């Protein structure tokens, strides 16, 4: 694991350990002519994967990184390397962003879908219930509606659906009802307020897990359109991969991992025709991708960085002709 430091002036110096750092970069197979290829780091974060990719790129290689977080952008702008470009946007826009630069194919794509430790640990961002702070939760604080603003206006049925579907929370009905009741009395504007409401509504919880965990996850995913971005990003990534190029995707919860697994599986499988039909082997449908690997953090990594425990890395390789 690598701690990214130092950070620019004005950016809080929270430590961040990049999960599955070597494994995700190794899987892209930067060897031979590929060292001078074009790569995408879809989630710059604090730059762990980007810096390792740059260390392995040849002099003609290019790396484009994406992030919605302004603090991540500030960190990325400190990298003085002509091979590196940072884009302040979601990785879901990668196809259009690179097409505008005359690039339609790349040699590898890495997506680390987790939020960074600085985002979680900075109380002013509102991601965590462990510290009191404004209930914001936006990755990009220059765009969109904060969690507090959404909680103030969302219909109770929508609250329940978001908490149930994105948080896989079995007490979604009770939590939504409690939120609606509290906001009728006073605005819900801080993380501690929301955590207390959820704790009162949830009667039982898994040992060692805070009652607010699933609700905070659900609201964060919804506010930032994380699953929509992932769906669009996977489609764009597949379309941009050159034949033989690989995609490394690290997910941190079951909703993300399920989407990644199903998408990659859909490209790796083909419908086989009736065996009784006179079709030559060369004319049989061929898979579009090859599943390369599935990796989880080692016990040593989880011991050093408990936040890595739920991570899953899936790797697939593009086959055949360009998309």
pLDDT digit string, tens, across residues 106-140? 999 999 997 877 788 888 899 998 889 999 999 99
Q: What are all long-range contacts of 123-131, with beta carbons under 8 Å and residues at least 24 apart? A: 123/191, 126/191, 127/216, 127/220, 128/191, 128/216, 129/191, 129/192, 129/194, 129/195, 129/210, 129/212, 129/213, 129/216, 130/210, 131/191
CA distance 148 to 94: 30
Fold of 21-118+226-318: Rossmann fold (3.40.50)
> pLDDT value at position 95?
98
Query: Is residue 112 part of an annotated ligand binding site?
Result: yes
The separation between CA 195 and the C-alpha centre of its own chain, rounded to angstroms, equals 24
Query: Is residue 48 part of an annotated ligand binding site?
Result: yes
CA distance 163 to 112: 23
DSSP code per residue over 266-311: HHH--PPPPTTS---GGGS---SEEEEEEE---HHHHHH-GGGTT-
CA distance 35 to 37: 6
CA distance 107 to 172: 43
Is residue 12 within 8 A of residue 4, CB to CB? The reply is no
At 12-41, the pLDDT tens digits run 444 557 899 999 999 999 999 999 999 999
Q: Domain segments of the chain: what residues?
A: 21-118+226-318, 141-223
At 265-296, the pLDDT tens digits run 999 987 665 566 666 555 566 789 999 999 99
Token reading at 73: 């952008």
- Alpha helices, DSSP H, located in the chain: 21-26, 48-56, 70-76, 94-99, 117-121, 147-153, 156-167, 172-183, 191-201, 213-223, 226-240, 254-268, 299-304
CA distance 72 to 116: 9
Q: Taking the model in full, what pTM does it have? A: 0.88
At 52-67, the pLDDT tens digits run 999 999 999 999 999 9
Query: Is residue 217 part of an annotated ligand binding site?
Result: no
pLDDT bin (cut points 50, 70, 90) of residue 162 is: very high
At 303-313, the pLDDT tens digits run 998 888 999 99
Query: Is residue 91 part of an annotated ligand binding site?
Result: yes
CATH of domain 141-223: 1.10.150.170
Query: Is residue 88 part of an annotated ligand binding site?
Result: no
CA proximity to 115, closest of 296, 250, 235: 250
């Amino acid at each position: 694991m690598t701690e990214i430091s130092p950070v620019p002036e004005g950016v809080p110096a929270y430590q961040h350990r990049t999960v599955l750092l070597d494994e995700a970069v190794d899987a892209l197979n930067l060897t031979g002519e590929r060292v001078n290829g074009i790569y995408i780091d879809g989630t710059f974060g604090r730059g762990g994967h980007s810096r390792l990719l740059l260390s392995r790129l040849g002099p003609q290689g290019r790396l484009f990184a994406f992030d919605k977080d302004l603090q991540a952008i500030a960190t990325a702008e400190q990298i003085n390397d002509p091979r590196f470009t940072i884009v302040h946007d979601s990785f879901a826009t990668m196809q259009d962003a690179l097409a505008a630069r005359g690039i339609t194919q790349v040699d590898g794509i890495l997506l680390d879908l987790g939020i960074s430790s600085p985002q979680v640990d900075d109380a002013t961002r509102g991601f965590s219930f462990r510290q009191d702070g404004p209930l914001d939760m936006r990755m990009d604080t220059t765009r969109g509606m904060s969690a507090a603003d959404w909680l103030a206006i969302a219909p109770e049925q929508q609250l329940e659906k978001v908490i149930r579907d994105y948080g896989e929370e079995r007490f979604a009905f009770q939590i939504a009802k409690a939120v609606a009741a509290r906001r009728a009395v006073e605005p819900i504007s801080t993380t501690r307020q929301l955590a207390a409401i959820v704790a009162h509504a949830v009667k039982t919880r898994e040992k060692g897990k805070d009652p607010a965990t699933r609700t905070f996850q659900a609201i964060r995913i919804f506010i930032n359109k994380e699953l929509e971005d992932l769906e669009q990003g996977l489609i764009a990534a597949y379309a941009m991969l050159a034949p033989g190029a690989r995609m490394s995707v690290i997910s941190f919860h079951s909703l993300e991992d399920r989407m990644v697994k199903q998408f990659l599986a859909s490209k790796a499988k083909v419908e086989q025709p009736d065996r009784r039909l006179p079709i030559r082997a060369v004319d049989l449908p061929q898979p579009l991708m090859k599943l390369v690997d599935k990796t989880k953090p080692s016990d040593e990594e989880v011991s050093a960085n408990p936040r890595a425990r739920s991570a899953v890395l899936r790797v697939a390789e593009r086959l055949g002709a360009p998309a």
